[in-house]
Amino acid sequence: MREFQRYLPKLIAKHVTRLFAGDIYIQGLGQFHFAKGKLEVPQQAELDHYRAVKEINGEIKRLKLAA
């Protein structure tokens, strides 16, 4: 599990696309699971979790389009 001390969507997106599946922890937001190259919403999600997942998955799409 990778731990991010800050919420940096581009860095997190790069990590998710490279490993494709696993878990991450973002300071201030909590633990997230990612599979098939996309971040998933936690079971006990709040509005901040949905926003973070949407933003990070958007960055993942941008990375794939740029390649």
Let me know: does 57 contact 36? Beta carbons within 8 Å: no
pLDDT of residue 67: 74
pLDDT of residue 62: 96
Gap between the Cα atoms of 45 and 67, Å rounded: 31
User: How is the chain split into domains, by residue range?
Assistant: 2-66
Let me know: does 53 contact 40? Beta carbons within 8 Å: yes
Average pLDDT over residues 11-34: 95
pLDDT exceeds cutoff 90 at 50: yes
Average pLDDT over residues 26-48: 95
| pTM for the full predicted model | 0.93
CB atoms within 10 A of CB 34: 23
The letter for the amino acid at 20 is: F
Average pLDDT over residues 2-25: 96
Let me know: does 32 contact 42? Beta carbons within 8 Å: yes
Let me know: does 34 contact 23? Beta carbons within 8 Å: yes
Is domain 2-66 annotated with CATH 3.30.565.10? no
